[in-house]
Structure 1
Amino acid sequence: MEIPVGRRNCIPIIYTKGTHYEVGFDVGRTFKGLIQDFIKNNSILNDEYIPLCSAGEGKNLYNDTLNCVRENFPQYIRELEGIADGSEVSFNKLFLLHMGQMIPTILNKNDSNDILGTGCSTICCNEPNTEILGHTEDANANTLGYFYLVSAHIIENEPQGKWKTTEERFISLCYAGHLPGFTMNYNQHGLVYSINVIHARQVYQPKTPEYFLCRALLTAKNLSDIENILKDKGCGSSVGFSVNATFLDEPGERIFYNFEVGPSSTNSDESVLNKLVIKRGEHSFHCNKYLRLKIPEIGGLLTASSDSRQNVFEKLTPPKTKNDVLRLLSHQSEDNFTIFRDYKYNDVKAREPIATIAIGIFDCKGRTWSVYTDKPENNDPLIVLPLKL
């Protein structure tokens, strides 16, 4: 961004109801200024993605990916078209954002040293008196102030897409101009989940970008739905990522899940999937690298940052209470690769221009979602939402 907004104690929220297009249009119209500024000053989009996909192999990649998503998830294309029309930003630019890292990876334009540690850290704490999913949403520091909450009720007359959905209710933290589902989220079926990006070294086309699979998770009613959506039978994910999840009303004792998702290969029509079950008395911590799947990664700062954060977590006392989770998500050390990242624009020593833009605490026993915009150990949440739709 030309003029950094910096850290603000502000999270705008929209409540909207309608079809996929209507909800998208309302979001685009309401946050038109934020979306236009974000797109205008997004150097990765304007200096990298657009030139790479303007002709030749890159243009074919764009068209193949758009056709793939339009075939399986036409409702999300209409939703994105609504955002584009409402914000008066071209659909082409918004779709390129949703292709993301697959563009330079497939076109062999990646430099591992340029892969910033833009991912997130997630803690699942499953104790008798503490059932919490805590998440830091980390991104380029220029994203500070360019996000909002979307509370949507989507109703369609006909079944939509490959999973034949007609109705959705959810709340999601969204980056400006992006579809819901990619950061931290809650849906009408009691599903709570967060996402960690992972950059696999080899990705493929035409496959489904992770943004659309994460968007589809907002429809999941049970564990089987999550697994089917992530496997994406018939196509598969274009890239790697990780999902941390639980269902609030699942019978029996609380169970958290971590899913590691690997890209679908040229010879496969579904994603690689590994599921970890976190039972009572257990905890987990996940950043932006594979802990179980043996899939080569690009490396660079993202892997170095993940290794550092993982080491911090393993050295500290495991969380038992909500305060423990807040303490861990607030942890900072002499290393620039910290769990809570507070990038300073004038800090010449910083190794990566990354900031924690928001922190979410899903309290499954208290049935609340607390969202912080600053270090949670020292600050009250900016908003506390009831986990009830």
Structure 2
Amino acid sequence: MATSFPVLYTRGSHFDVGYSIGSTFQSRIQTYIQKSFLLQDTLLPFYDTREGRDFVEAMLSRTEKNFPKYLDEVRGQAQGAGLPFETLFVNDLLMEIYFYFSQKPPQATKEDLGCSTVYINRPDVKVIGHNEDGENLARTLGYVIDATITGDDGVEEKFTSLCYPGGLPGVSIGCNYHGMIFAVNALDGPTIDKAAAGDFVLRALLGASNIDEVKKVVSNVGFGVSSGFNINVGSIVDTSTQWSVEVAPNVFESKVSIKEIHESDDPEKSTYFHMNEYRHLDIEVETAERSRARFERALSLPVPTCAKDARNILGDTDNKTFPIYRTVSPSDDYATVCTGMFDLLNKRFDIYMDNPSSDTGPLLRFNMQCEA
């Protein structure tokens, strides 16, 4: 049973917050970089090639134009952690390099992409639950950031986000002071060159105050996005609707589809599931067997009508080869790092470090606020 997981409360400029994260979690970040099979077997060896250097330099040039303030966070974090900036920047290009542009066959494949999400939007229950699946190291080396950032332009960001060691906030589960909640699923789809890195687009989402801003951020006009993802979105301000936002790669402007999950007394209409496949954006992609198995298992279970039902689905291990709640096994290099439960009516964000269907309860609990 998990008994602790660190939370850092930090404020300052983008660089200052990055430095605070890096210096506070220096040991965790360095250990993750040293032990991560994603980094050590594929990402860093790719960067050591001429092709890899050219690719990373091109991505860096685009990011300098598109998201310079978030590069300041990476620079601060690298300095605080005592690591080269390039190492952490490469870490933020995981989806692009690991699954698509490296020539070395990866240990984990697109088939292993993770995360599962359950929506419930009833008049009396408004919940989004999410399994965050990733490298098992993140269970012991990850952390949560509660940050207040004031940039040179005077724009303030306040958010709470689960973070992978050395990575940008925003790529997993989190919420912000506009009352918006976000849970991200990687999508098995095409990846392209000459567009913005997906992790930086997701980092920018933490500043969005409504669904229109979410669409603007992920469209990223002028740069697009290089890798696809799904963002499961809710709001404690507008609880009548929840949103599934699917994004596909495109140069200059991303392809975006938004499905609305409206409040309903009908259990079938008030429930929605999303794993690692495109469900509503018109795109030709073969569905991964692991994602399909989790989706079909969720559909086979009783329709959820309360938070406990959602947790039971997210904790399900009936399919021993492709379970919804994942642990490292001979057939799976990834694991469920944690489960995030967003209760929009009660304005609560809970994080379960153990199987959420058990009676252990959440290890971390945050009160969501709207200060806008």
> Do the structures match in fold with TM over 0.5?
yes
Aligned to 1:102: 96
Q: Does 2:16 align with 1:31?
A: no
Is 1:230 the counterpart of 2:218? The answer is yes
Secondary structure of 1:359's aligned partner: strand
Measured after TM superposition, the shift of residue 214 of structure 1 is: 0.8
Where does residue 48 of structure 1 map in the other structure? Answer: 42
1:279 counterpart residue number: 262
- Rounded Cα–Cα distance in structure 2 between residues aligned with 1:189 and 1:382: 24
Q: Bigger CA drift: 116-125 or 18-27?
A: 116-125
Q: For each residue in 1:163-192, what CA deviation from the matched residue of structure 2 results, as whole angstroms up to 9, or x when unmatched? A: xxx210000000111111111111011110
8 Å contact kept, 1:116–1:352: no
User: Could you say what secondary structure the match of 1:246 adopts?
Assistant: strand
Partner of 2:80: 86
| Cα distance, 1:54 vs structure 2 | 2.2
Point out where structure 1 has 5 or more consecutive residues left out of the alignment: 1-6, 160-165
The DSSP-based 3-state class of the residue aligned with 1:369 is: strand
For residue 260 of structure 1, the aligned residue among 237, 246, 257 is: 246
Q: Which amino acid aligns with 1:147?
A: G
Deviation, structure 1 residue 215: 0.4
Q: 1:269 aligns with which of 225, 233, 252?
A: 252
Question: Which residue is 1:312 aligned to?
Answer: 297
TM-superposed deviation, 1:113: 7.2
User: In the alignment, which of 171, 174, 186 is matched to residue 175 of structure 2?
Assistant: 186
* 1:146 and 2:141 are equivalent in the alignment: yes
Q: Distance in 2 between matches of 1:44 and 1:354?
A: 11
Deviation for aligned residue 1:118: 3.5
| 1:30-71: CA deviation from partner (whole Å, max 9, x where unpaired) | 011100100011222122112222232221110110111111
Moved over 6 A (4+): none
Distance 1:121 1:130 in 2: 19
Q: Secondary structure at the match of 1:219?
A: coil
- Asked whether 1:157 is paired with 2:152, we answer yes
Aligned 8 A contact 1:122 1:287 in 2: yes
Q: Deviations over 1:235-289 (max 9, x none)?
A: 1110111000012112xx521000111011xxx4111111100001222110111
Which residue number in structure 2 is paired with residue 68 of structure 1? Answer: 62
SS class of match (1:15): strand
Q: Which amino acid aligns with 1:342?
A: T
User: Is the CA contact 1:240–1:263 (under 8 Å) kept in the aligned structure 2?
Assistant: yes
The residue identity in structure 2 corresponding to 1:262 is A
Aligned to 1:131: 126
Q: 2:320 is matched with which residue?
A: 335
Task: Return the letter of the residue paired with 1:258.
Answer: S
Q: How much does 1:387 deviate?
A: 0.6
**CA displacement, residues 5-39 of structure 1 (integer Å, 9 cap, x when unaligned):** xx733210011110000000001010111001000
Deviation at 1:314, TM superposition (A): 1.2
Gaps of 5+ in 2: 265-269
Specify whether residues 107 and 342 from structure 1 end up closer, same or farther in structure 2 by C-alpha distance, changes over 3 A only: closer
Write the distance in 2 (CA, Å) between the matches of 1:173 and 1:151.
9
Does the CA contact (< 8 Å) of 1:141 and 1:355 recur in 2? yes
Partner amino acid, structure 1, of 2:168: L
TM-aligned CA distance change 1:298 to 1:249, over 3 Å: same
The structural deviation recorded for 1:143 is: 2.6
The alignment partner of 1:103 has SS state of helix
Offset at residue 297 of structure 1 (A): 4.2
- In structure 2, give the amino acid aligned to 1:321: C
The offset of 1:296, in angstroms, is: 4.2
Q: In the superposition, relative to structure 1, how do residues 296 and 58 fare at CA in structure 2: closer, same or farther (>3 Å)? A: farther
RMSD: 1.8
* Cα distance in 2 between the residues matched to 1:57 and 1:173: 32
Alpha-carbon spacing, 1:298–1:109, altered in 2? closer, same or farther (3 Å): farther
SS in 1 for 2:206: helix
Q: 2:130 touches 2:314 (CA, 8 Å); kept in 1?
A: yes
The residue matched to 2:158 in structure 1 has which SS? strand
Q: Give distance in 1, aligned partners of 2:200 and 2:275.
A: 21
* Matched-pair contact (CA < 8 Å) for 1:207–1:235: yes
Any conservation in 1 of the 2:42–2:104 contact (CA below 8 Å)?
no
| Separation in structure 1 between the aligned mates of residue 283 and residue 88 of structure 2, nearest angstrom | 29
CA separation in 2, counterparts of 1:128 and 1:262? 32
Letter in 2 for 1:362: F
> What count of residue pairs does the alignment treat as equivalent?
363
> What TM-score does the superposition give when structure 2 sets the normalisation length?
0.93
Q: How big is the shift at 1:112?
A: 9.9
Are the structure 2 counterparts of residues 78 and 275 from structure 1 closer, same or farther at C-alpha, using a change threshold of 3 Å? Answer: same
For the pair 1:168 / 2:157, whether they are aligned, the reply is yes
Contact map agreement 1:106 1:204 (CA 8 A) in 2: no
Inter-partner Cα distance in structure 2 for 1:118 and 1:249: 32
